[in-house]
Each structure stands twice: as C-alpha cells, then as structure tokens.
Amino acid sequence: MSLTFTSSFDSGAIEVDAVGDDSAELRIRPDVRSDGSRSEFRQWFHFRVGGVGSSGARLRVTNAGETTYPEGWRGYRAVARIDEQRWMRLPTGYDGRTMTIEVPPSRTIEVAYFEPYSWERHRALLADCTARGARQQRLGGSLQGRELDRLIIGSGPQPVWIIARQHPGETMAEWFVDGLLQRLLDPDDAVARGLQRMATFHIVPNMNPDGSVLGNLRTNAAGANLNREWLQPSAERSPEVLAVRDAIQATGCAAFFDIHGDEVLPYVFIAGCEMLPGFTARQQQEQGAFAADFRAASADFQSEHGYSAKKYQDDVLKLASKYIGHTFGCLSLTLEMPFKDNANAPDADAGWSSARSARLGADMLGPVLKHLERTAP
C-alpha cells in the first residue's frame, strides 16, 4: 500500500512528486499569495503522512538546496508527532541538494519545519488571556479579513510593545509570546506585578494571520515581507503593519521587541539598533545592559553569535525594530531563536522546541523590568 500525503489544513504546505510503499519524493512549496501566485521565498513545510509500514519510510525533499536558506538544512532535524502526541525530532540528513527525513512506523504522522502554532490555538490564547485580565482589542484586519488583535496588560505609564510572527513560518515566536503571557498574567509572580505597575504592555501575538494559515515562511497574502514594510506600509500591500504602526504612534513606545526565528544560526540572540545614524550613547548603554541582564536570566540567551551590524544598509529603516528605535529613541530589539537547536545547550531529543521558546519568553520579563526601572521617568 502506498503512502498518502495531505497538506490541506491550517499552515499545510508541501508538493508531492512521487509516492511509493516506503518512500516519497517531495518538494518544498514557495510562499503563496491570495491570487494563487507564488512569491520568492520557500522554506516552510507541514504535512501529514499516512500508511507508513513497519519498516518506516524515507522522504526525500529534492529541492532543499534551492530553498531560501539552504544552510538552514545543515544540522537540522524535521519535527513530527505521531497520533497527535508530543512533537519530536526525526533523523534528517542533507547532502547539499536533497534533504532526507526518516519516518518511523505510524498510522498517521504529522511532519513540519517547526512545531506549528495554529490559528485555532491563537484564538484560544487570546480568549485565555482575556479571561485572566488582559484587554483584547482589534487593531484591524489582514488582507484576507482575519482579525489582527492586540492584548493590553498592565496600567503603568511606560508603553512596552511586543510583536511576533511578522514572518509567519517562525512559529517559535508565538510560542515565546505564549510563555511570556502566561507569566505576565500570573498574579503570584512578583516580576509580573512590578511590570504591570510600571508599564502597559501592548502585545500582538500574530502579526501575519494570513501567512500563518497559508503556510508561508515570510510573506502575507500579497506576497509582502512585513519586516520590510515599516517605512511605508500601505493598506493594499501591508495593512497589518499599517495598523500596528499607527497604534504604536498613538501610545508612544518605551521599549519594543520584535520576535523571530533564524533558519541558520543555532543560537538565541538579539539584533539592536547600533547601525542607525542617530543611535546615541544612552541607547548603546541601555541595549548593553539589557543584554547583560538577559544573559543572567536565561542560559539559552547569549551575545557572542548573531548578525553583524553591517547586515542592513539602505533598507534598514524598513525593519520594525530599526524603525521604532529610530522614531522613539527607545530600546528596540529583534529577538531571534533557532529552528535547529541552541548549540550552547543542545537537546538531543527535542532540539529547540515550543517549550524552550515559551520558557525564554517568560525569562525575558525580568530583564524588561530592570530596563524599565533604570529608565523610569
């Protein structure tokens, strides 16, 4: 009996070329737009396989070497879960062209680039946070009409903004926000109480609802990379950024965090604003102090490996954290987590995972509180 494949569900994406009894040839699908056309990015995959016999199956992804981040497959292992159980990593190889995933015997197995964070779960997160005291506000709609929501938490004078999943395939970003929210809404947590007194949090757990459901890595339903839209967002191409940028203008901003995943680097790191022309000594000092506090708060965070400040030049203000840092002169950071694992603290079973992302989100709150205490007016 042949293997069966489907990706007709929330965030599903794969192309199937050939199917046998215990093997298949697959291709990673490009990001798609509303009109069915494709954009230039391709990396995300998510599908279910049925009919894997007692000797398992070998899946060959023949265009891995032609994806947006081919180096992302070196040292990478696909994630999967059998019969809706816990996610795990599968034995995965890459020879520079083809990625090979070894699938264990199973009735049905779900395979993905990283643990998905579904739209249904997103809606449940909003409902749970609202029941625990957060205020939910609709900022606008996506191009395909999905709700773009923020959660407002706390009553302090300093506005803190946290956004996630501008790049929808970086699902670890929403797991991070999930963990952060669980702690921020814990009435027994002294850090959370201090933060709610000093700050008002504005949190957008999913900046790109359409891309998330479409199974895209980087783009929305118009093919726009939202993290290159902040200088000139438009209602036609990037209404998600337009709505959030307007809301930030309305509240002001004392600290900004844009949460991402990096396909290649096996570390957690931040990218700051030091390349901006108006970057001040005070901003430098605040950024350095925050990084030092974060290192002390989480053994998963480090400052040795990351992006060179030279990575962005002319287009730098198109990026969210640079635009906000430049506009408000505040602490403004992009946080990156790995798709693979943290090479400083590897986990042979799970690699980098949803649980570690959530823990990191909770652990960032202590450093945020220290930052607000240092900079309080």
- Catalytic residue flag (residue 66): no
Report the alpha-carbon angle 315-316-318, nearest 5.
Answer: 70
Angle between helices 119-131 and 172-184 (to 10 degrees): 10
Residue from 150, 167, 202, 356 binding Zn ion (CB under 5 A): 167
Q: Does 322 bind Zn ion (CB under 5 A)?
A: no
Phi, psi of 262 (to 5 degrees): -110, 130
Helices (H), 185-280: 190-198, 209-214, 239-251
CB of 64 to Zn ion, least distance (A): 20
Candidate segments 241-249, 252-260, 295-303, 323-331, binder of Zn ion by CB under 5 A: 252-260
Q: Does 318 bind Zn ion (CB under 5 A)?
A: no
Q: Does 165 bind Zn ion (CB under 5 A)?
A: no
Nearer to Zn ion by Cβ, of 134 and 173: the residue is: 173
Q: Which helix (H) or strand (E) holds 247?
A: helix 239-251
- 215 vs 4: CA distance, rounded Å: 20
Contact, 332 vs 290, CB < 8 A? no
Nearer to Zn ion by Cβ, of 46 and 167: the residue is: 167
At residue 105, the 3 state secondary structure works out as coil
Candidate segments 56-64, 167-175, 301-309, 311-319, binder of Zn ion by CB under 5 A: 167-175
CB of 170 to Zn ion, least distance (A): 5
Q: Which of 110, 170, 240, 336 is catalytic?
A: 336
Contact, 239 vs 143, CB < 8 A? yes
Candidate segments 53-61, 254-262, 295-303, 304-312, binder of Zn ion by CB under 5 A: 254-262
CB of 263 to Zn ion, least distance (A): 9
Q: Does 260 bind Zn ion (CB under 5 A)?
A: yes
Q: Does 237 bind Zn ion (CB under 5 A)?
A: no
Tokens of 360: 């990191």
Report the alpha-carbon angle 377-151-13, nearest 5.
Answer: 130
Residues that bind Zn ion (CB under 5 A): 167, 170, 260
Catalytic residues: 336
